[in-house]
């Protein structure tokens, strides 16, 4: 049986499907001695090499997921020409494969980030077609009238696109500073800030507090990570229509050494899990 090359590479934990497509396009991958093409298919008998290193047979390893509480001023990328600190600098090392970020957050945005060694899981969680939403806590200067909230839910034009919050609720505040909780289906780059700007208010703080059924736990300090427990991972895989992988490696734990606690909340079933069509990773 053949599979798309970029999916095979992503499933080995080398990166997201989208990133693997970029590697292939850059000529970093060869199949049977020939430079690979984006979109090509391979089978288990093909000789695949990445950066001159042969891709061995797939090892059976447990799917791992980390949650991290991102602090401001760090990037969600492994390489940065400006030399800024990266969230990947503080993550635990894996024996094989590497951590894949599920979407990203802007430099000054804080809060929940997800990482996994499973390319298929990362793709399902991040792609808009899956129907996973994101919730943010937003502090702005000024308070919006009810009519403005309704406009932001109905949809406004931002950069020639109609954008909208799935939900927006007033949370707390006093004086000039007020907090709102907003929900988005994709969370494009700077989308939250730009939506509020259409109503003449400036976002002063932005924090992601939920990604689908995964919440940012109150016990996780800013700038630290924790591994998601196996029961939570199994529930995520079931929600997304993915098979569970059996355990082989000793799991990492929280930086504190504490056994992971559940970070999931009840979440509706996803209609998109019925689709078997390979998808590209996207969204933030």
What stretches of the chain show up as alpha helix (H) in DSSP?
5-11, 17-25, 119-126, 146-154, 191-197, 230-240
- Pick from 280, 238, 266, 211: nearest CA to 69: 211
With beta carbons less than 8 A apart as the criterion, state whether 206 and 192 touch.
Answer: yes
Q: What does the alpha-carbon distance between residue 173 and residue 16 come to, in Å, rounded to a whole number?
A: 39
Structure tokens at 157: 């034009």
User: Residue 143 CA to chain centroid, in angstroms?
Assistant: 30
Q: What does the alpha-carbon distance between residue 33 and residue 211 come to, in Å, rounded to a whole number?
A: 41
Number of H helices, E strands in the chain: 6, 17
Our answer to whether residue 46 is catalytic in this structure is no
Q: What does the alpha-carbon distance between residue 155 and residue 151 come to, in Å, rounded to a whole number?
A: 6
- Pick from 199, 165, 182, 22: nearest CA to 109: 182
Catalytic residue among 46, 106, 133, 167: 106
3-state secondary structure of 180: strand
Structure tokens at 120: 């298929």
Task: List, by residue number, the catalytic residues.
Answer: 106
């Amino acid at each position: 049986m053949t599979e798309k090359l970029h999916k095979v590479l992503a499933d080995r934990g080398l990166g997201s499907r989208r990133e693997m497509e970029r590697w292939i396009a850059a000529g970093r991958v060869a199949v049977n001695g020939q430079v690979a093409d984006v979109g090509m298919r391979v089978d288990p008998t093909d000789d695949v090499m990445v950066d001159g290193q042969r891709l061995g047979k797939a090892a059976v390893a447990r799917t791992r997921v980390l949650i991290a509480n991102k602090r401001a001023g760090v990037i969600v990328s492994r390489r940065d020409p400006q030399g800024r600190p990266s969230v990947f600098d503080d993550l635990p090392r894996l024996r094989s494969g590497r951590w894949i970020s599920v979407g990203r957050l802007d430099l000054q945005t804080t809060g929940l980030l997800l990482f996994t060694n499973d390319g298929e899981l990362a793709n399902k969680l991040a792609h808009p077609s899956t129907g996973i939403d994101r919730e943010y806590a937003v502090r702005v200067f000024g308070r919006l009238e009810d009519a403005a909230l309704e406009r932001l839910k109905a949809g406004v034009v931002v950069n020639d696109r109609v954008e909208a919050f799935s939900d927006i609720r007033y949370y707390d505040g006093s004086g000039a500073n007020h907090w709102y909780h907003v929900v988005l289906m994709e969370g494009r780059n700077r989308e939250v800030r730009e939506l509020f700007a259409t109503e003449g208010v400036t976002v002063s703080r932005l924090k992601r507090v939920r990604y689908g059924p995964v919440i940012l736990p109150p016990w996780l300090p800013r700038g630290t990570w924790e591994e998601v427990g196996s029961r939570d991972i199994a529930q995520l895989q079931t929600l997304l229509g993915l098979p569970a992988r059996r355990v082989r490696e000793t799991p990492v734990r929280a930086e504190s050494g504490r056994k992971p606690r559940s970070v999931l909340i009840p979440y509706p079933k996803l209609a998109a899990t019925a689709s078997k069509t390979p998808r590209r990773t996207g969204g933030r």
